[in-house]
Amino acid sequence: MKVTILLICSCLAWEGLGKPQFPDQEKDPLFWNTWAQRTLKNALTLQKLNQNTAKNLILFLGDGMGIPTVTAARILKGQLSRQSGEETQLEMDNFPFVALSKTYNTNAQVADSAGTATAFLCGVKANEGTVGVSAAAVRSQCNSTQGNEVTSILRWAKEAGKSVGIVTTTRVNHATPSAAYAHCVDRDWYSDGEMPAEAVQAGCKDIARQLFENIPNIDVIMGGGRKYMFPKNQSDVEYPGEMKHFGTRIDRRNLVEEWNNRMKNKNANYVWNKKELLSLNPNSVDYLLGLFEPGDLPYDLERNNETDPSLTEMVEVAIKILKKNPSGFYLLVEGGRIDHGHHDGKAKQALHEAVEMDRAIGHAGLMTSIYDTMTVVTADHSHMFNFGGYTPRGNTIFGLNSILSDVDQKPFTAILYGNGPGFKVVNGLRENISTLGYGENNYKAQSAVPLSMETHGGEDVAVFAKGPMAHLLHGVHEQNYIPHVMAYAACIGQNRDHCMSSSGASSLSAALPSLTALLTLIRLLC
């Protein structure tokens, strides 16, 4: 009863403020008309398409970042800056071209991250749970691997002479990054310690091993997954007393040591903490292996600022190293723990991960140019996450609705999940969340169906694009279309014929910004 009275009072207080609170300028039609006209003028400039050849390619992949997550992250970003949030713009919101991607796997209506990664990296749709192999391969059947391997855009870029990199907040051998270099019928074969003995005996390789053997000399690798690189029961350098972080390799190989030995004459560095990473001079580093945790990196809200680099910090170092190559680079960046937050029903963790990825996108934009760098931002799949309920403008994204349920007379948060661990019944009734810390970092939002882990969503996801040939990402596409567009923009892989016929024009077009800057400098000096 006391809780109900408090909620009614809070609603009355809202009413007493004179209805919705928003900036006075928004009451004037001139504000909206001026904004729309400015947007229109910007849109008209897009009629002149950027058909340069892309020297650099960057793919930002928000794992599990469905459209509701994008919208909620936008609001959170604004509210972190003391704005109401709805009118805020994410970095990806400013990309001029937007499409939708159909995420289903060949054998799944609602996709997993392995089959989708094969699509947006290798250009072919695949079965759930498999990476870097076609749909002819069957999950967990080792003998279905050979002959069904498919190559990724990272390999296409490397073979074209570009530098290549992988940056992730998950394990570097997790589903998304592994599709860039591995051919594996089971995404969970992180090391030989996670593989069935018969698969090892049949000659199938674990994913960690493939990271170092399949594509020689990947220039930059950063993320977690340290324990999969070391012999079983070898203690971890950061957590020496915790057995769960010990090495997992049954073959007793030390893949980090092998990498160091192989790269010792190549300006290569292995680092395992933020201090080591940020102490590097990128100008003197050509190859970098950074493994910052035994498993996944911690959520950004829980990150130790002294020992664990942020996604933005990793991206900055990666681009500084990769951009030294005059032929350009390909960089895969994964905000991988958005997905984990949602699976746990922890919307606050998931949305802060999305906001951090947005920071990384903005920082990458400052370090590159739209004239020669194609940047794509997308997701592999969505989640059973949503928010709603007629909340007022500026309502904290993690807060309560301004009304009670008219069925059970209890409060509910704006954020809810269709299924997941947040389902709870007390005395046969829905739990009264007003007594809980629903604003806490690890609060599990209520769900309609009880599951120990929340599931993916099956709807289309957004694709944001800018830079050369970004206009080719428009409308609704199959997810495997994405790497074909990026390859076409950069003249790599199977998309080279158009470059041969217009190489002179494309080279001149790409050089124009530099020529303009040079002429300006000459005029100033004279």
Q: How far apart are CA 503 and CA 51, in angstroms?
A: 12
The number of residues in the chain equals: 526
116 is in an annotated binding site: no
The token duo for 111 is 């996709």
pLDDT at 10: 41
Is pLDDT of 8 > 80?
no
The token duo for 462 is 């957004």
Q: How many of the other CB atoms lie within 10 Å of CB of 107?
A: 16
**Strand, helix or coil at 144?**
helix
What does the pLDDT average to over 239-264?
A: 97
CB–CB of 348/308 below 8 Å?
A: no
Sign (positive/negative) of CA torsion 496, 497, 500, 505? negative
Phi, psi of 201 (to 5 degrees): -65, -30
**Strand, helix or coil at 286?**
coil
Helix spans in 267-336 (H):
274-278, 311-322
First and final C-alpha spacing in the chain: 80
63 is in an annotated binding site: yes
Phi, psi of 275 (to 5 degrees): -60, -45
pLDDT at 22: 84
pLDDT at 501: 62
What does the pLDDT average to over 213-219?
A: 95
Q: How far apart are CA 159 and CA 181, in angstroms?
A: 13
Is pLDDT of 285 > 60?
yes
Is pLDDT of 15 > 60?
no
Tens of pLDDT along 129-170? Answer: 999 999 999 999 999 999 999 999 999 999 999 999 999 999
Query: If pLDDT is split at 50, 70 and 90, which confidence band does 1 have?
Result: very low
pTM over 0.95: no
Q: How many of the other CB atoms lie within 10 Å of CB of 55?
A: 24
Query: If pLDDT is split at 50, 70 and 90, which confidence band does 46 have?
Result: confident
**Percentage of residues in the chain with pLDDT exceeding 70?**
91
Which among 101, 113, 144, 178 is annotated as catalytic? 113
380 is in an annotated binding site: yes
238 is in an annotated binding site: no
Tens of pLDDT along 106-120? Answer: 999 999 999 999 999
Is pLDDT of 502 > 80?
no
176 is in an annotated binding site: yes
**Strand, helix or coil at 424?**
coil
Who has greater pLDDT, 499 or 186?
186
Is 447 in the active site? no
